[in-house]
Amino acid sequence: MARIGGIPDTLDEQVVKFSQRSLEQPIMLNSVPKGGTHLLRNIMRMFVPVEQHYNADFVQVPNMHQHLEAFNPHAPMLSAAHLLFSDQSYANVRTARHILLVRDPYDWVLARARFFVSEEFQQDNIAHLKSGVFSTDALINMMIFGIHQKTPGLIDIFTHNAAAWLGTGVHLLRYEDLLGAVQSIDTPEADVLFDKLFKACGIERPDDWAERVVVGADRRYSRTARENLKAANAITFPVELSAQQKALVDFHAPGLRALLGYA
């Protein structure tokens, strides 16, 4: 059982309180790492029987061969992935309904930085980022440009995990639009967004869909929500990038934000 800040993840106990219809086709919730994956996954869990939740792992290229059952059309499952585009990736997931979640690169940089310095993140070759030696601005630049031979830059991640999937039958969903719909669940805009999302997933929207969304979106169930991440050495980050840092993102990945639908 997953634990969040020492508290067990009890979302499955909420799922079974609602009537569920079995999936007829696999669903893969694919996303850019630190793109809001847990929010989307927890919402969609509320519309799928617990026994059809694929919980073994997040599917990625290194472990994909171990999790092919997640995409078995004869035993449909709801899975989550950080799966970059490749010939083998496409071949393996071609039978699944594919939701691609992205995040504004400006905000993604900060989300990635907060995660990298948190106790939740474990990667030995860059553990020193938590030491307090590096300034906030230096850490942000590392999130934009990457660290040579240690971790990729923004353009590499967004190219292979997002841009390369466009036009291949995916349903593109922006994290900010999803979050806005959750926070204004009774609005026409939220109704339209979730109507499109459920249709893309092949799920018939139940009458109590809004109630289910609110339960699934409860941030207490997301171990990577900002307030559930404990930073080492009290490292803090700004609410948004500075004008110079935004310019650095644009220099590093020109056209990316426009491609994903951000102004």
pLDDT digits (tens, 9 = 90+) for 133-178: 999 999 999 999 999 999 999 999 999 999 999 999 999 999 999 9
Q: Has residue 8 got a pLDDT over 90?
A: no
> How much is the average pLDDT of 25-37?
96
User: Of 202, 170, 199, 181, which is closest to residue 99 (Cα–Cα)?
Assistant: 170
**Residues 49-60, buried b or exposed e (16+ Cβ, 10 A)?**
eeebbbbeebbe
> How much is the average pLDDT of 30-58?
95
> How much is the average pLDDT of 231-241?
81
- The reported pLDDT for the residue numbered 223 is 57
Run of H or E residues at 93: helix 87-93
State both tokens at 140: 């942000």
Summarize pLDDT for 187-202 with one digit per residue, the tens.
999 999 999 999 999 9
Please report the DSSP string for 150-189 in residue order: TB--HHHHHHHHTGGGTTSS-EEEEHHHHHHHHHTTTSHH
Q: 5 pLDDT band (50/70/90 cuts)?
A: very low
Summarize pLDDT for 81-122 with one digit per residue, the tens.
999 999 999 999 999 999 999 999 999 999 999 999 988 887
What is this structure's pTM? 0.91
Which amino acid, residue 11?
Answer: L
Residue 172, CA atoms < 13 Å, CB-side half-sphere: 15
- The reported pLDDT for the residue numbered 31 is 97
State both tokens at 249: 């993102």
- The reported pLDDT for the residue numbered 130 is 85
- What residues contact residue 125 under an 8 Å CB cut-off, 6+ apart? 150
- The reported pLDDT for the residue numbered 3 is 41
- The reported pLDDT for the residue numbered 2 is 46
For residues 124 and 111, which has the higher predicted lDDT (pLDDT)?
111
Instruction: Write the Ramachandran bin of 238: left for phi over 0, alpha for psi from -120 to 50, otherwise beta.
Output: beta
Which amino acid, residue 193?
Answer: L
Residues of the chain above pLDDT 70, percent: 92
